[in-house]
Amino acid sequence: MALASERHVVRELFVTAEAARREADLVAVARNAGATVIHVADRVAVALGETEHPQGVLAVVGIEPVALADVLVAKPRLVAVLVAAADPGNAGAIVRTADAAGADAVVLTAGSVDPYGGKCVRASAGSIFNLPVVTGVDVGAVLAELHQCGILALAATMDGGSIERIGAELRRPTAWLFGNEAHGLPADVTAAADRRVRVPIFGRAESLNVAAAAAVCLYESARVQRHESPEAGSGH
Amino acid sequence: MALASERHVVRELFVTAEAARREADLVAVARNAGATVIHVADRVAVALGETEHPQGVLAVVGIEPVALADVLVAKPRLVAVLVAAADPGNAGAIVRTADAAGADAVVLTAGSVDPYGGKCVRASAGSIFNLPVVTGVDVGAVLAELHQCGILALAATMDGGSIERIGAELRRPTAWLFGNEAHGLPADVTAAADRRVRVPIFGRAESLNVAAAAAVCLYESARVQRHESPEAGSGH
């Protein structure tokens, strides 16, 4: 559990008696960091936790909003943009994968699910607190700002060029745009992107789940940027 | 909707009045293929469908079990093996990704979820009917048979060698072994595999979701087998 960073801080920590014993170090750290520690009965933890298997520790976390401009000024090399993401499980899974792939930020455009909702936070397995998450921005404004910063905007679509053919262009700072399960990306978004890119379907499946497609796209970018770029020095 | 194949056949088709009009062609094909077509009220379709947004068409499908030996005799090049898979959503997502990546079969070892349960079938988006799915086999027997057939058995683990370093070995016929979310792969399984392989974590995430890891692994195999193998002729 992330107890504090630039962007978030634990204000209150609710713990059951059993969890307070098991996680004594964590409780001490939270208290020293300024959190109010509140002891609760097991059934209170169950009610608060929105989950069938509560861990006995719940935190109320204050989140500082992140502006797109703050993300872009840091010259990101890899960004995931979820356009009107509707499924919190997929959104959280993509945040987790983006974090794992070393992305610098995730953007959820206006009309997307709340990434701090319980289902999305759980699907992110904590990654929602690991990297800047920008919310509520207009997708047109995102595309304009990406263009202005020289960041390659790739629209993940069913009918674009195969990701295997982009090659060296993936070395550039890149933002991947992912649509929602039901509607994909709006036509004006794919038209405004620099390229439409598809993950090829080799079998009989009609499409990939957006979270699976995002895993392939983000890891392909990571592979190319970290191993084939002349600027990439050390590797990992 | 797949109406029939070698391995499954639609025995009964339940349709609402609205769906019978909308899907008249499908109903005719099913009837000609020997299915019994049963008209039901909307609320019956809702009750049968286990889903909030039923499509008004439900099929009872007979599935022929597939034996591992039948899969192996066809000389598969890419197989996904789910070891004690516990989450039907992840299992269905991996079946869908395996189908998309052109895998020849999916194996769920004994103790895994039922891949024909509603949640798994929905997460597979129909892919469960697109490729052979072997169930209920002992993981030790699977490893022995893979070895005997000369199929490279790769255990997806957190502590193996990076997938980016395997290189040309991925040209070989390959079976990927994926563990369950909570416990990963059992130690005896990783020990019996030819190699342990990890998807590298570049950011701060502790791990990848198994379905995301499977997407990266299966597509990396597809990329290498289809583009870099001397036997792979035509490409796509």
pLDDT in tens, A146-192: 999 999 999 999 999 999 999 889 999 999 999 988 899 999 999 99
pLDDT at position A94 is 98
Verify whether the Cβ–Cβ distance A208 to B164 is below 8 Å: no
State mean pLDDT over B209-226: 96
- With contacts defined as CB-CB under 8 Å, which chain A residues touch B203? 98-103, 127, 130-131
Longest dimension (CA), chain B: 57
Residue A84 scores a pLDDT above 50: yes
List the beta bridge partners of residue B80: B106, B176
Instruction: Write out pLDDT tens, residues B5-38.
Output: 667 788 899 999 998 999 898 889 888 888 899 9
Residue of chain A whose alpha carbon sits nearest to that of B104? A203
CB atoms A93 and B212 under 8 Å: yes
Largest CA distance in chain A: 57
Residue-level pLDDT at A228 = 54
In angstroms, the CA B105 to CA B21 distance is 36
pLDDT confidence of residue B6: 64
Burial of B1 (0-12, 13-18, 19+ CB in 10 A): middle
Contact predicate A58/A11, CB 8 Å = no
Tokens of B3: 């109406």
> By mean pLDDT, which of A51-60, A74-83, B33-42 is the weakest?
A51-60
Neighbours of B167 (CB within 10 A): 10
pLDDT in tens, B38-78: 999 888 888 887 776 778 888 888 888 899 999 999 999 99
pLDDT at B49: 74
Cα–chain center distance at B83: 12
Non-local (6+) Cβ contacts of B142 within 8 A are B68, B81, B107, B109, B175
HEC string of chain B equals CCCECCCEEEEEEEECHHHHHHCHHHHHHHHHCCCEEEECCHHHHHHHHCCCCCCCEEEEEEECCCCHHHHHHCCCCEEEEECCCCCHHHHHHHHHHHHHCCCCEEEEECCCCCCCCHHHHHHCCCHHHCCCEEEEECHHHHHHHHHHCCCEEEEEEEEEEEHHHCHHHHHCCEEEEECECCCECCHHHHHHCCEEEECCCCCCCCCCCHHHHHHHHHHHHHHHHHHCCCCCCCCC
Q: Which has more confidence, A41 or A218?
A: A218
Looking at A43-52, A168-177, A218-227, B115-124, which range is the least confident one? A43-52
More confident residue, B236 or A109: A109
Indicate if the pLDDT at residue B157 is higher than 90: yes
Sequence-separated (6 or more) residues with CB below 8 Å from residue A233: none
Report helix, strand or coil for A109.
Answer: strand
Q: What angle do CA B223, A125, B187 make, to 5 degrees?
A: 65
CB-based contact B164 A201, cutoff 8 Å: no
Mean pLDDT calculated for residue range B184-209: 96
Strands (E), chain A: 8-15, 36-39, 57-63, 78-82, 105-109, 133-137, 152-162, 174-178, 195-198
B80-101: average pLDDT: 97
Q: What is the pLDDT of residues A20-32, one digit of tens each?
A: 999 898 889 888 8
CB B12 within 8 A of CB B36: yes
Identify the pLDDT of residue A145.
97
What distance lies between CA B17 and its chain's CA centroid? Answer: 33
* Rounded CA separation B93/A85 (Å): 18
> CB-based contact (8 Å) between B52 and chain A?
no
Instruction: Work out the pLDDT band at A234, boundaries 50, 70, 90.
Output: very low
Question: Letter for the amino acid at A101?
Answer: A
Q: Are B208 and A131 in contact (CB < 8 Å)?
A: no
Q: Which residues pair with B156 in a beta bridge?
A: B197
Interface contact flag, B131 A203, Cβ < 8 Å: yes
Whether A217 contacts chain B with CB within 8 A: no
Instruction: Quickly count: other Cβ atoms within 10 Å of residue A55's Cβ.
Output: 14
DSSP 8-state class, residue A156: E
Cα separation of A59 and A9, whole Å? 10
Nearest Cβ partner for A236 among B123, B202, B227: B202
Residue B1 has pLDDT above 60, yes or no: no
Residue A233 has pLDDT above 70, yes or no: no
Which residue type, as a one-letter code, is found at position A194?
Answer: D
Q: If we measure between CA atoms, which residue out of B127, B67, B84, B76 comes closest to residue B104?
A: B76
Rounded mean pLDDT, B161-171: 92
Residues of A in contact with B101 (CB under 8 A): 202-203
pLDDT at B228: 55
Rounded to the nearest angstrom, the minimum Cα separation between B225 and chain A is 12
Q: Is the dihedral of CA B80, B83, B84, B89 positive or negative?
A: negative
Q: Is B203 in contact with A227 (Cβ distance < 8 A)?
A: no
Kindly report, residue by residue over B94-131, the tens digit of the pLDDT: 999 999 999 999 999 999 999 999 899 999 998 999 99
Q: Is the pLDDT of residue B201 over 90?
A: yes
Q: Is the pLDDT of residue A12 over 50?
A: yes
**What does the pLDDT read at residue B234?**
40
Q: What is the mean pLDDT of chain B?
A: 90
Q: Provide the 3-class DSSP secondary structure of residue A102.
A: coil
Structure tokens at B17: 């009045």
The answer on pLDDT for B235 being more than 70 is no
Q: What is the pLDDT of residue B4?
A: 54
pLDDT at A61: 81
CA neighbours within 13 Å on the CB side: how many for B31? 12
Give dist(CA B11, CA B233) in Å, integer. Answer: 40
Residues in chain A: 236
Of B73, B130, B65, the closest CA to residue B103 belongs to B130
**Chain B contact probe: residue of A87, A106, A202 with most B CBs at under 10 A:** A202
Of the ranges A61-65, A97-101, B48-52, B136-140, which one carries the lowest mean pLDDT score?
A: B48-52
The set of residues, in sequence order, having a beta carbon less than 8 Å from that of B148 and lying 6+ positions away, is none
Q: Please give the mean pLDDT across all residues of chain A.
A: 90
Rounded Cα gap, residues B197 and B167, in angstroms: 12
A138-169: b (≥16 Cβ within 10 Å) or e: ebeebbebbeeeebbbbbbbeebeebbebeee
Q: Cα–Cα distance between A143 and A81 in angstroms, integer?
A: 10
